[in-house]
Structure 1
Amino acid sequence: MMKRIPKDWPNSAFSQEIQVGDLFWHVQVSGTSPSHLLLLHGTGSSAHTWGAIFTELSKHYTVIAVDLPGHGFTKNLGNKTLSLDQLADTLTDLRKALKIDYFDSIVGHSAGATLALSYALKNKQPKMIIGLNPSLISLPNFYNKFVAPFLNPIVTSSFFTAVLSDLLPRTNMINSLLDSTKSVLTPEKRDRYKTLFKSADHLNGSMSFMAGADIPSLLSRCKKISSRLTFIVTEDDGWIPIKPLCEVIRKDFVNPRIIEIKGGHLFHEESEKLALEFIMSALTEEEAKHVHTN
Structure 2
Amino acid sequence: MSAGLVWNRDGADWPNRETSQFISAAGLRWHVQIAGNGPVALMIHGTGASTHSWRRIMPLLTRRFTVVAPDLPGHGFTSTPDRSGLTLSSIAREMTELMRALRMEPDLVIGHSAGAAIAIRATIDRRMRPRAIASINGALLPFGTPIGQFFSPLAKLLVSAPMVPQIMAWRGQNRATVERVILGTGSKIEPRDLDYYSRLFKNPRHVAGALGMMASWDLTKFAADLPLLNTDITLIAATNDRAISPADAITVGRLIPNARIVKVERAGHLAHEERPEEIARIVDEIADAASADQFRSKRYSG
Could you tell me which amino acid in structure 1 is paired with residue 203 of structure 2? S
Residue aligned with 1:119, SS: helix
Counterpart pick for 1:18 among 23, 31, 38: 23
Give unpaired runs (5+ residues) of structure 1: none
Q: CA distance change for structure 1 residues 121 and 237 in 2, over 3 Å: closer, same or farther?
A: same
Q: CA distance change for structure 1 residues 187 and 134 in 2, over 3 Å: closer, same or farther?
A: same
TM-score (norm 2): 0.88
Structure 1, residues 215-247: CA drift from partner, whole Å, max 9, x if none? 22222222222211111101111111112x033
Counterpart pick for 1:141 among 143, 146, 162: 146
Residue aligned with 1:130, SS: strand
Counterpart pick for 1:9 among 14, 17, 23: 14
Counterpart pick for 1:256 among 259, 263, 286: 259
Residue aligned with 2:33, SS: strand
Pair 1:37 & 2:41 matched: yes
Contact 2:250/2:261 (<8 A) preserved: no
- The equivalent residue for 1:198 is 202
Counterpart CA distance in 1 for 2:160 and 2:76 is: 17
Segment drifting more, 214-223 vs 271-280? 214-223
Counterpart CA distance in 2 for 1:65 and 1:104 is: 14
Pair 1:226 & 2:230 matched: yes
Counterpart CA distance in 1 for 2:23 and 2:258 is: 37
Q: Percent identity?
A: 29
Residue aligned with 1:152, SS: helix
Q: CA deviation at 1:168?
A: 2.1
Counterpart pick for 2:156 among 137, 151, 161: 151
Residue aligned with 2:42, SS: strand
* Over 6 Å off, 4+ runs: none
Structure 1, residues 164-205: CA drift from partner, whole Å, max 9, x if none? 212322274322210111111111111110001111111111
Aligned-pair Cα RMSD in Å: 2.0
- The equivalent residue for 2:102 is 98
- The equivalent residue for 2:300 is none
Give unpaired runs (5+ residues) of structure 2: 1-6, 295-302
Counterpart pick for 1:160 among 161, 164, 169: 164
Equivalence map 1:204-219=2 (5 Å): 204-219=208-223
Residue aligned with 2:169, SS: helix
Equivalence map 1:170-189=2 (5 Å): 170=174, 172-189=176-193
Q: CA distance change for structure 1 residues 250 and 28 in 2, over 3 Å: closer, same or farther?
A: same
Equivalence map 1:47-58=2 (5 Å): 47-58=51-62
Q: CA distance change for structure 1 residues 39 and 48 in 2, over 3 Å: closer, same or farther?
A: same
